[in-house]
Chains A and B, each alone.
Chain A
Amino acid sequence: MITRHRFRKITNAVMLTLTGLCALVAVGAMLAILGFLVWKGAGSLNWDFFTKLPAPVGEPGGGMANAIVGTGKLLLIASLIGLPIGFLSGVYLSEFGGRPMSFLIRYVTDLLSGVPSIVIGIFAYAMVVVPMKSFSTLAGGFALGVMMIPIAVRGTEESLRTVPPNLREASVALGASRTTTILRVVIPAAFRGILTAMMLALARVAGETAPLLFTAFGNNDWSPGWTHPIASLPVMIYNYAISPFRDWHRQAWAAGLVLLVLVLLTNIAARLLFMGRAAEAER
């Protein structure tokens, strides 16, 4: 009996320590990723990286200015497609949806969020690249936009649902229409949450590579307008990383650092915004 008791106590201590180790490994992985990128990337970062075009193979130097602008342009198109559709559908689900229709929309949105990003790439290829007969900013933006929709829908719907029903009733009781009520009362009350969701959606697709491979493709030069192949940071990282050139590897690390910082900062900002809301609600 005594030994059994000791065995149990030891098991207890061992297992609890192991779970702590697991958590340590997970957190350690995060810190290691950050550490490696800073270590390897910071050395290759300089002003040229942000202002110059990629140098031809064999020539040292050069930068990724076109990829940085390209990522911006792609995200702009993606936001124009993904955010309005996502936001309005979220409003529909929270404020209007009847039973069968809401169920259908929710189901389809879940389905869409589970589609692998490379498959979204094929879809955008078939929908945009084939008819236009060219890789383009529009095609890449379309692919990213489709990926943003489910995140925006869910975030909007959840935020709107936290608005207490009596607020809506109060407004309607004053003779306001449902449209007015939503515009003037419900959306302002849920504004922070919605903004958080939008930022998370943006951060999520900013780092996407797979759907861009055969939609935006890539470009070593500036891409004029919206209908030409365009460079982006993630695709650039991929191409440079699998290349055999040492100089390009350095550039890939630098681009990785920039991309990671961009994505993480957006994420942190979005979450802080949301926490701010929670704190406000507590007060």
Chain B
Amino acid sequence: MATAAHPAAPQVRSHAHPPGFFRSFRNRLRKLIGTDWLGYVLSLVAAVLILAITTALVWQLWTQSALSRAKFGWGFLVGRTWSPLFEHLGALPFIYGTVVTSVIALLIAVPLGLGAAIFLAELAPPRASSWLAFLIDLLAAVPSVIYGLLGIFVMVPFLRQVVDPALKRTLGFLPLFQGPIYGVGLLAGGLVLAIMVVPFIISVSREVLLAVPRDQREGALALGATRWEATWGAVVPFARTGIYGSIFLALARALGETMAITMVIGNDPKIRASLFAPGASIAAVLANEFVEATTPTYISALIELGLVLFCLTIVLNGLARLLILATSRRGGAPA
């Protein structure tokens, strides 16, 4: 690397005897590495850069949304109309869509994920369990746009032709399952999110379940509990803070997820009771409208939506990490 830094070293004589200048540079470099502070300073600079980037991120979100915050105030969060043309901008339809789809996602993903985690941690032979967990980890690595692709071309037609009509027939007395069926809509958004967050619930829950000491399981079995009773009555409660953590983590993922939901939610910023109706989420409106936004207020309002999303996910992530940490630190004993 020394030669690279000095390509024009003046008097190159032979490899065995580097020129004085070259040698002194190498020596200097060696001396530099021989100090304690070089590694310290370099790595500290990088660490400080992370601080700077994150600060810049928060600062940008805050200042760039100033216009919108000044104009709409707190009313932005509860405004029900989104009409960029007249600059009536309220975030409620997007917040509604985000929350509803995330709730649907959790309602499906939590039982499914927890069930699968229990199977992998408690019942499957260790070898099979780690292979299945490997497959499920890969599921978490599938890019979101691919879920969207499958959502548009596979799931939405299936919902339109099979699932939605069936729901309407059986549960149609509920306002949730009334109205015209499009295929795209809140239900489709929630479903695709559910499939996307399941791997997170499984892999975190499986790990906290595996960390439960064996004597808890045996304690219950020794009292004549069946395998399921020991799992559900002793092992799962022991790991419950960690499991809550995995759910919060999944929720944070669901809230911030963009591409898949943009592709199937229908993108109509209205609040409707029916889950069949198209809706919109914060992330989806950003993906759809940011590039087309023209007026400063419009852009600023979109960035404020980004700020809202940022705050939501940060709070949830923080809670999730605290819970998971509490489980691992206290060996799982909840308060």
Question: Using a CB–CB distance below 8 Å, which chain A residues touch chain B?
Answer: 8-9, 11-12, 15-16, 18-23, 25-27, 29-30, 33, 36-37, 40, 84-89, 91-93, 95-97, 101, 104-105, 108-123, 125-127, 146, 149, 153, 176-180, 182-183, 203-204, 206-210, 213-214, 217, 234, 237-238, 241-242, 249, 252-253, 256, 259-260, 263-264, 267-268, 271
For residue A111, which residues in chain B have a CB less than 8 angstroms away from its CB?
54, 314, 317-318
- Are the CB atoms of A112 and B317 closer together than 8 Å? no
Chain B nearest CB, measured from A37 CB (Å): 7
In B238-280, the 8 Å CB interface with A consists of 252, 255-259, 263
Distance between B93 CB and nearest chain A CB, rounded to angstroms:
17
* Residue contact A36 to B150, C-beta cutoff 8 Å: yes
CA gap between A15 and B231 in the complex, in Å: 10
Bound-state Cα–Cα, A271 to B130, Å: 12
Known contacts A20-B123, A88-B46; A116/B33 CB under 8 A: no
Q: Across the interface, do A112 and B50 meet the contact criterion of CB distance under 8 Å? A: yes
Kindly list chain A residues whose C-beta atoms are within 8 Å of the C-beta of B313: 114-116
Instruction: Assess whether B54 is in contact with A209, with CB atoms less than 8 Å apart.
Output: no
Cα A23 to Cα B117 in complex, Å, equals 7
> Given A23-B116, A263-B142, A213–B263 Cβ distance below 8 Å?
no
| Contact (Cβ within 8 A) B144 A209 | yes
Q: What are 18 pairs between A and B in contact, CB < 8 Å?
A: A18-B115, A19-B118, A22-B116, A22-B118, A105-B51, A111-B318, A117-B256, A118-B286, A120-B57, A122-B290, A123-B60, A127-B56, A149-B53, A153-B50, A177-B34, A180-B34, A204-B141, A260-B143
Chain B residues in 8 Å Cβ range of A176 = 34
Q: Measured between alpha carbons, how far is A107 from B132 in the docked complex, in Å?
A: 32
Contacts of B186 in A (CB 8 A): none
CA–CA, A207 to B145, complex, Å? Answer: 7
Q: How far is the CB of B260 from chain A (nearest CB, A)?
A: 10
Q: Are A19 and B115 in contact (CB under 8 A)?
A: yes
Selecting from B9-17, B160-168, B212-220, B302-310, the interface stretch reads B302-310
Asked whether, in the complex, the Cβ of B153 is within 8 Å of the Cβ of A209, the reply is: no
B23-80 residues at the A interface, CB under 8 angstroms: 33-40, 42-47, 49-51, 53-54, 56-57, 60-61, 64
* B-side contacts of A214, CB under 8 Å: 290-291
Q: Is the CB of A242 within 8 A of B51?
A: no
Given contacts A33-B150, A108-B51, A112-B53, contact A26 B139 (CB under 8 A): yes
CB contacts (< 8 Å) of B147 on chain A: these are: 33
A-B contact count (CB 8 A): 275
Inter-chain CA distance A182–B123, complex, in Å, is 43
Q: Is B188 an interface residue (CB 8 A)?
A: no
CA distance A244 to B220 in the complex (A): 59
CB within 8 Å of A: which B91-136 residues:
111-116, 118-120, 122-124, 132, 134-136
Query: Chain B residues in contact with chain A, CB under 8 A?
Result: 33-40, 42-47, 49-51, 53-54, 56-57, 60-61, 64, 111-116, 118-120, 122-124, 132, 134-139, 141-150, 152-154, 195, 198-199, 202, 226-229, 232, 252, 255-259, 263, 283, 286-287, 290-291, 302-303, 306, 309-310, 313-314, 316-318, 321
Contact (Cβ within 8 A) A33 B146: yes
Chain A residues near B53: list those with CB within 8 A. Answer: 112, 146, 149
**A125 neighbours in B (Cβ, 8 Å):** 290
Q: Decide if B226 touches A11 in the complex (CB within 8 Å).
A: yes
- Whole-angstrom CA separation of A248 from B313 in the bound complex: 35
Q: Which residue of B lies closest to A150 (CB)?
A: B50
Q: Which of A25, A101, A207, A252 contacts B112 (CB 8 A)?
A: A25
Q: Which residues of B contact A238 (CB under 8 A)?
A: 145, 148, 259, 263
Point out the residues of chain A lying under 8 angstroms from B39, CB to CB: 91, 95-96, 178-179, 182-183
Q: Which residues in A have their C-beta under 8 angstroms from that of B263?
A: 238, 241-242
The answer to whether A119 and B306 touch across the interface, beta carbons within 8 angstroms, is: yes
Report yes or no: B116 in contact with A25, Cβ–Cβ below 8 A.
Answer: yes
Whether B47 and A88, one on each chain, are in contact in the complex, defined by CB atoms closer than 8 angstroms, is yes
Residues of B within 8 A of A40 (CB): 153
Q: In the assembly, what is the distance between CA of A116 and CA of B141, in Å?
A: 16
Indicate if the CB atoms of A210 and B143 lie closer than 8 Å. Answer: no
Give the complex CA separation of A37 and B134 in angstroms: 20
Expressed in whole angstroms, the Cα–Cα distance for A238 and B287 within the complex equals 11
Smallest CB gap from A14: residue in B: B228
A16 and B228 contact, Cβ closer than 8 Å, known pairs A85-B50, A114-B317, A213-B290:
yes
Whether A253 lies near B149 (C-beta < 8 A) is: yes
A184: nearest residue on chain B (CB-CB)?
B33
